[in-house]
Amino acid sequence: MLRPPGRREHEAAPAEGGPASAVAAEREGEDRPGWRGALSSPVFLRRSALGAFVVAALAVTALLFYALGSTGGSPVAAPTVSPKPSASPPPTVAQIYAAIAPSVVYIEAARSGGGSESGSGVIVNRDGTILTALHVVNGAQSITVTFADGTQSPVTVAGDDPADDIAALAPATLPSVVVPAVLGRADRLNVGDEVVAIGNPLGLTYSTTAGVVSGLNRHISGTDGPTGANLIQFDAAVNPGSSGGPLVNGRGETVGIVVALANPTRAGTFIGIGFAVPIAAAVSGGGRAPQQ
């Protein structure tokens, strides 16, 4: 009787369906090609992805609670943004001239010998009051002013201050539109600040020059000019005929009345130094008027 190799004669064949059969079936199943492939089946991958998502969600939640806890449990409000106007650039010399020119007048003073002298002035009040340098009109037989619109009028000297070389003129006739100059504060000037001088130098009407404040609180003396103190020194060009015109700051405000220039010769022409009476002293006749 033939027997399968390797089986002993006394070994009995395992009963069909018994425990040995089950063990054999399990071992046999391990060698089946589809068993290991079941580990990478779609169902197993979906379960793995779901687990990873849950872990990530828990991590994000933990970070969120940590962030809230570090700020006292309340989210930080975002800063609010409100619109702000852009800073306006300072006016140009051309803009300053356009603003002040309607307030400037041309003055002609007739002398007893038949000659005349010209100068400048600036309207400082709605009633048409004009400030100028006293030496322009002092001793004149008649004085005539020409406004910016061409209106001409005789004027009288309403007041004067010889110490500061200032005169106030009252016109008999006013133009249809009176444009007083905007007055500023000379006590706020600093050396180096930009200034503009407007007037009628050498009979050249409505001329303008620009420069800077080159000194403050100056004092000069002369036979025909201011003897008071606290004059503004500037280097904007002025010449005979500029006297009485306004000295204007960089904002278009009149801060002084031009009264003199410095020249070591007898030529009387500008060499780089002019002087103006502070506007408060000019308005008040040498006293201290309320500042604007």
What contacts 208, CB < 8 A, 6 or more positions away?
93, 97, 196, 197, 198
Quickly list H helices, the chain: 19-30, 33-37, 42-70, 93-100, 134-137, 279-283
| Fold: same for 93-171 and 186-283 | yes
* Integer angstrom CA distances of residue 269 from 16, 27, 204: 139, 125, 14
- Options 160, 164, 165, 235, the catalytic residue: 165
The DSSP code for 163 is: T
Does the domain formed by 93-171 have CATH 2.40.10.10? Answer: yes
- Options 135, 160, 207, 242, the catalytic residue: 135
Question: Using an 8 Å Cβ cutoff, are 184 and 253 in contact?
Answer: yes
pLDDT band at 291 (very low <50, low <70, confident <90, very high): very low
Residue 219 pLDDT greater than 50, yes or no: yes
Question: Using an 8 Å Cβ cutoff, are 109 and 143 in contact?
Answer: yes
Mean pLDDT of the 213-223 span: 85
Return the bridge partners of 131, or none.
Answer: 122, 168
Stated pTM of the model: 0.69
Nearest to 176 by CA among 145, 149, 214, 144: 149
Residue 220 pLDDT greater than 90, yes or no: no
Return the bridge partners of 167, or none.
Answer: 132, 160
User: pLDDT for 127-149, tens place per residue?
Assistant: 999 999 999 999 899 999 999 99
Whether residue 165 lies in the annotated active site: yes
216 exposed, middle or buried (CB, 10 Å; 0-12, 13-18, 19+)?
A: middle
Q: From start to end of 102-181, where are the E strands? A: 104-110, 116-123, 130-133, 142-146, 152-161, 166-171
What is the structure's pLDDT at 48? 59
Whether residue 176 lies in the annotated active site: no
- Percent of the chain topping pLDDT 90: 55
Whether residue 10 lies in the annotated active site: no
pLDDT band at 241 (very low <50, low <70, confident <90, very high): very high
What is the structure's pLDDT at 36? 46
Domain ranges of the chain: 93-171, 186-283
Q: Is 83 left (phi over 0), alpha (psi -120 to 50) or beta?
A: beta
CATH classification code of 186-283? 2.40.10.10
